[in-house]
Amino acid sequence: MTSSVISHAFEIKGMMQTILILHLKQVASDSPRQLSEHFAQAPKLFKNQPMIFNISEINTNISADFIIQVYKACQSHKINVIGVSGCHSLVAQEAVKAAQLKEITTRPTASEKSAEKQEPLSVGSCDVIRSTHVRSGQQIESKGNLTIIGNVSRGAEIVANGSIYIFGNLLGRAIAGASGDKKSKIVAQAFDPELICIAGIYTTSEQTECYCPSTAVAELDDETISLRGISS
């Protein structure tokens, strides 16, 4: 009897990827144009990125035509729109259906919404410390603060609900305050990032000067990110 070894022709692995949320706050005729201009400022950042439209703030006056125009603006920049969330009215649900987009139906309960608003962010027991370099293609996440003892390479992404501390160079993407904490900050021994984001407010190397060759901290100043050096 002859035995044979069966080798599988495929392998499935998990990969965590950031999903962009586009919060539409008003139905305006020039919204698609404004979006297109915004995406054009950093085309490499948005290309092939998955995105969800959130229409919770415009449920009562949303239309299928408006959704389609916004979708086309995203499509022209090769953004992968995967669905629409925040459809809390029949008007919104019908508009999404007519636009032939998928409704993302995960909705928090009233008690969950209340807890989100009232509970302070507790990060002490959820902190993550990584003592190696974060290489291109890797993503590291923390439910609290995140400390990296090493460099964050271009093409790498680190995400934390709290603050981010990097004992090395920040060259890739750093997203702090991912759960909305505007007091979060990003500290690194050298800044030359592809993107830094705090509580949903971001800036990229294509948009503004994010470079600092020595230790610096990035934090929110009103609705913009400021970068300042730290004296030794």
Is this prediction's pTM over 0.75? no
**Is 187 part of a structural domain of the chain?**
yes
HSE on the CB side for 131, CA within 13 Å?
A: 0
Are 68 and 89 within one domain? yes
Tracing tokens 């085309």 back to the chain, one arrives at 43
Residues of the chain with pLDDT > 70, as a percent, come to: 81
Residue 157 belongs to domain spanning? 125-226
Q: Count how many domains the chain has.
A: 2
Whether residue 56 has pLDDT greater than 60: yes
Are 163 and 106 within one domain? no
Is the Cα dihedral 184, 188, 191, 194 positive or negative? Answer: negative
Higher pLDDT, 152 or 3: 152
pLDDT digit string, tens, across residues 90-130: 888 888 999 999 888 754 444 434 434 433 333 345 789 99
pLDDT digit string, tens, across residues 158-212: 999 999 999 999 999 999 998 889 999 999 999 999 889 898 888 887 666 778 8
Q: What does the alpha-carbon distance between residue 175 and residue 184 come to, in Å, rounded to a whole number? A: 10
Are 90 and 182 within one domain? no
**Is 50 part of a structural domain of the chain?**
yes
**Is 10 part of a structural domain of the chain?**
no
Last residue of a domain, one of 112, 137, 172: 112
